[in-house]
Amino acid sequence: MTGSTGLRVLAVDDVPPALDELVHLLTDAPEVGEVRAAGDPLSALKMLQADHFDAVFLDISMPGLDGLELASLLAKLSSPPVIVFVTAHDGHAVTAYGIGAVDYLLKPVRAERLAAALGKVLKMVGDEPGKPQVDAMAALPVEIGGRTRYVRRADVRFVEAHGDYVRLHTKSGVHLVRMPISRLEEYWEGTGFSRVHRGYLVAIGAVLELRSDSAGGLLAHTDAGDVPVSRRHARELRDRLLQAAQRGELDRT
């Protein structure tokens, strides 16, 4: 079963540098909680029979048993993983989608394309009947002094856009994560966060009060700082705060 901190993914490629690069990209992706690696199809098949993985990122051109053949075998498992093919050649796309792959990535894999593929995987995993919805964004990995730690969504008061990154503002500090705010908004939709400005998301339960700034604009005050609220988002924010207050959700400390 998938944990709350992300997808369990198996990367399969018979070329070590390519496998290392794929593992590195997957490890850096915030959607992914655990990455395992297999250097040949038979090892991958044994791992998949012995353990559960949400997704397999699979090279096509491998000796012995190629990726297309392995994917056909995986489809027969009682709980098959989601398949994403990774290849240097684009000639197998029709066959790959025919087998049931959700995406087809060409090498060298770009982080943006990988993110799109992982979004499809998340949707597929969450749509499986009887399987709990994957909450891959309940905690985000951040690098601090060469170490990785996880910042819980529940501790984030507001999110600030910073180019291709976001700043997660918590009561204890600010943490930088490589992810556009639009993508994080998509993942955190329905989890208590609201877009209040082109560059900000705020946790509804973290808003202590609404204030006016010196120019007459609206600010949402939290214990981690003030968040600007644009005019187009002000009414929606007030409505959501009222609904949260009626449900007793504004008493967080």
Q: How much of the chain exceeds pLDDT 90, in percent?
A: 43
Q: What is the pLDDT of residue 132?
A: 45
Confidence of residue 128 (pLDDT cuts 50, 70, 90): low
Q: Which two tokens stand for residue 192?
A: 């208590």
Evaluated on CA atoms 175, 170, 184, 182, the torsion sign reads negative
Domain 7-127 -> CATH class: alpha beta
Q: What is the pLDDT of residue 1?
A: 37
Give the whole-angstrom CA distance, residue 119 versus residue 171: 29
Most confident range, picked from 56-60, 164-168, 225-229, 247-251:
225-229
Q: What is the pLDDT of residue 76?
A: 73
> Mean pLDDT, to the nearest integer, of 208-231?
93
Question: Does position 140 have pLDDT exceeding 70, yes or no?
Answer: yes
Confidence of residue 3 (pLDDT cuts 50, 70, 90): very low
Chain region(s) in the chain for CATH 3.40.50.2300: 7-127
Confidence of residue 77 (pLDDT cuts 50, 70, 90): confident
Give me the residue label for tokens 């297999």. 38
Q: What is the pLDDT of residue 45?
A: 87
- 8-state DSSP, 63: S
Most confident range, picked from 70-79, 92-101, 195-204:
195-204
| 8 A C-beta contact, residue 48 and residue 56 | yes
Neighbours of 7 (CB within 10 A): 24
More confident residue, 127 or 167: 167
Q: What is the pLDDT of residue 184?
A: 87
For the stretch 84-93, pLDDT in tens is 999 887 766 6
Evaluated on CA atoms 17, 37, 42, 96, the torsion sign reads negative
For the stretch 147-170, pLDDT in tens is 777 888 999 999 999 988 899 999
| Position 170, amino acid | T
| 8 A C-beta contact, residue 41 and residue 65 | yes
| Position 95, amino acid | T
Chain region(s) in the chain for CATH 2.40.50.1020: 153-246
Q: Which two tokens stand for residue 51?
A: 């353990």
- 8-state DSSP, 214: T
Give the whole-angstrom CA distance, residue 97 versus residue 119: 17
Q: Look up the CATH architecture of domain 153-246.
A: Beta Barrel (2.40)
The answer to pTM > 0.75 is: no
Confidence of residue 99 (pLDDT cuts 50, 70, 90): low
More confident residue, 86 or 76: 86
Gyration radius from the chain CA atoms: 21
Question: Does position 236 have pLDDT exceeding 90, yes or no?
Answer: yes
Q: Which two tokens stand for residue 12?
A: 């399969």
Q: What is the pLDDT of residue 146?
A: 73
Alpha-carbon distance values, 71 to 45, 67, 98, 133, 166 (Å): 10, 6, 11, 24, 36
